[in-house]
Structure 1
Amino acid sequence: MTPKTLFLAWQEKDRRQWFPVGRLDADVSQPEYRFRYTGGARRARAEAGFPLLVEFPELDEDYRSTRLFPLFRNRVINPGRPDLKDYLRHLDLGHEADPIEILAANGGHRATDAYEVFPKIEGDADGSFSCRFFLHGWRHVNSEAQERLERLTPGEGLYVTLELTNPITGFALQVQTVDYYMIGWAPRYLAIDLAMAVAGEPDRYSARVVRINPQPAPSTQRVLIEMRGRWDGYEPMNGSDYLPVVG
């Protein structure tokens, strides 16, 4: 099985800014797990007072284990839960999904902390890519947009557009319906990489609804979206925020 890479993002409380602060490299077939802080953690400490995790107390340490670290393991549903099948269906996953696939899909969100998990986007040889994410911020759009969100259907096409005047983050990626209702945003930690595809070749990307999960599904897993596009000469998630502090 091919090793997979996930990033850990932390949200600063006051301005709600997201920072990629850690990198998990996982090979579940061995099993081998490796966690390192990234340059984003160093920047988050300087700009927003990011507290290092109790489980990973040293910024320049290379943490390795044959078991998934508790920080991540606690964000995966217990396989003995009676609602496991429903939960995996909300994520558009099959029953054979491993913990890393679940984390990549569910975002690792917990109401008790300010962290999320997202997979490294890998481009193909021609620069094409696909990624999935749950819609952010849909509870903060106007009532007309929320009513439109209720009418979304699986497979429905969407627009992803640049927003340069977001009052919280300044720069953001809006998600709109084809009839121009702004229903929310792409996750902030994906915005720059996805914007490179939208701005570079706007006629060569697409977005669609994968699933709509009504209650009692968590609000953070309400609308699952897939975006496809292509980068020309651009390598995603390769800036200083994503590079490990230690090699």
Structure 2
Amino acid sequence: MISTKTSQHQSLSHGREITGLFLGWQDYQSDLWLPVAKMTWAPDLSRYCFRYTKGMERAIELSPIEKSSFIRHPDRLYQSHVTENESLDFKSRMPLSRTRYVPQQQQWLGLPEDPIDPIAYVSRSGGRRYQDSYDVFPEIRPDSQGDYHFHFLPLDIGKLEPDCYEYLLQLAPGHQLGVTDNQLGDGRFQLGRLPGYLLEMARTCPTAIQIEVARVNLKAPQFHSLLCHATVNGTLLTPFATAEYQTYTGI
């Protein structure tokens, strides 16, 4: 089990708004992004369930690396894994070791410094690793109005030009941002890229998603400097309803 000071038995995360974690995969040659796996908490089993999604089938078709992984273990794709512990694919991206700096990082992510919540942390941080093709993002419940709320760190913030980064540091919470192609910005500067799952939503129904600045972290490393808040109108778009997000059964 995840070692935290809060119980994970009623939900994946504090506030009970997070109902699952997805693992996304980016094919950098084609720039295609796909959801490939999902982890949920099964209360009746008191353990985590790890399942591949139909997006993994497409990833295997596109990527020699992904394909070779399943050639070595051909039965993996056809199993719905149920494990007592978190899948390593997710666990390795959570702040479960070297937690000295995690309280400060949780503050940058708009989370309480204590207790440490690995699920909420990775839902907002994206769980990315250096030269990695994967990211993590949450499945969440809608609010009372039927809208969905996601917090995220834009990609490629570390690649911004100095004048653009200086502009970013002056932004205030609530500042509205837009999407052009896959770039996040406000008409004056580009401020990074959207994570794959939000980019897919923006492409599917641009009017359904609104993005604003949640907080600017002046003393944080550059890649942690901007936290954004995306609101998805549930009347116009239901997140994660397309075929790629559904459980792969091998049929």
Q: TM-score when scaled to structure 1?
A: 0.78
User: Deviation of residue 229 (structure 1)?
Assistant: 3.9
Equivalent runs, 1:141-160 vs 2, <5 Å: 141=160, 144-153=163-172, 155-160=173-178
Equivalent residue, structure 1, for 2:41 = 26
Residues 100 and 87 (structure 1 numbering): CA distance in 2 closer, same or farther, change over 3 Å?
Answer: same
| Greater per-residue helix proportion | 2
C-alpha displacement at 1:35, in angstroms?
A: 0.9
- What is the rounded CA distance, in whole Å, between the counterparts of 1:35 and 1:134 in structure 2? 25
What is the number of residues matched between the two proteins?
A: 230
Report the Cα offset of residue 220 of structure 1: 4.0
Stretch moving more, 17-26 or 96-105: 96-105
Which runs of structure 2 are paired with 1:57-96 in the superposition (5 Å)? 57=73, 58-78=76-96, 81-94=99-112, 95-96=114-115
Verify: 1:180 aligned to 2:192, yes or no.
Answer: no
CA shift for structure 1 position 2: 3.1
| Correspondence for 2:179 among 150, 161, 180 | 161
Residue ranges of structure 2 left out of the alignment (5+ in a row): 1-9, 13-18
**d(CA) in 2 for partners of 1:229 and 1:62?**
30
Choose which of 27, 30, 46 in structure 2 pairs with 1:15. Answer: 30
Which amino acid in 2 is paired with 1:193? M
**Equivalent in the alignment of 1:49:** 64
Could you tell me which residue of structure 2 aligns to residue 104 of structure 1?
123
More deviation, 73-82/85-94: 73-82
Alpha-carbon displacement from aligned partner over 1:107-156 (angstroms, at most 9, x marks no partner): 11111532110002433464322111111233455554333223223x14
Instruction: Please list the CA deviations of residues 188-234 of structure 1 after superposition, one character each: whole Å capped at 9, or x if unmatched.
Output: 2221224555325xxxx6432223345663x5433110022413253
Partner residue in 2 for 1:225 = 228
Any conservation in 1 of the 2:36–2:59 contact (CA below 8 Å)? yes
CA distance in 1, matches of 2:158, 2:131: 19
1:21 and 1:50, CA in 2 relative to 1: closer, same or farther beyond 3 A? farther
Contact conserved, 1:103 with 1:118, CA < 8 A, in 2?
Answer: yes
Question: 5+ unaligned residues in a row in structure 1: which ranges?
Answer: 164-171
Letter of the 2:124 partner, please give it. A
Q: Is the 8 A contact 1:121 1:237 kept in 2?
A: no
Q: 2-side partners of 1:42 and 1:152: how far apart? A: 41
SS across alignment from 1:225? strand
Deviations 1:69-116 (A, max 9, x none): 222222122366322321221222121243222221221111153211
Report the alpha carbon displacement of residue 184 of structure 1 after superposing the two structures with TM: 2.1
Name the counterpart of 1:2.
Answer: 11
Distance in 1, matches of 2:100 and 2:162, equals 35
3-state DSSP of counterpart to 2:48: strand
Contact 1:36 1:246 in 2 (8 A): no
| Structure-2 change in CA distance of 1:123 and 1:91 (3 Å) | same
Is contact 1:22–1:38 with CA below 8 Å preserved after alignment? yes
- The percent of aligned pairs where both chains have the same amino acid is 22
Matching residue's letter, 2:246:
L
1:169 corresponding residue in structure 2: none
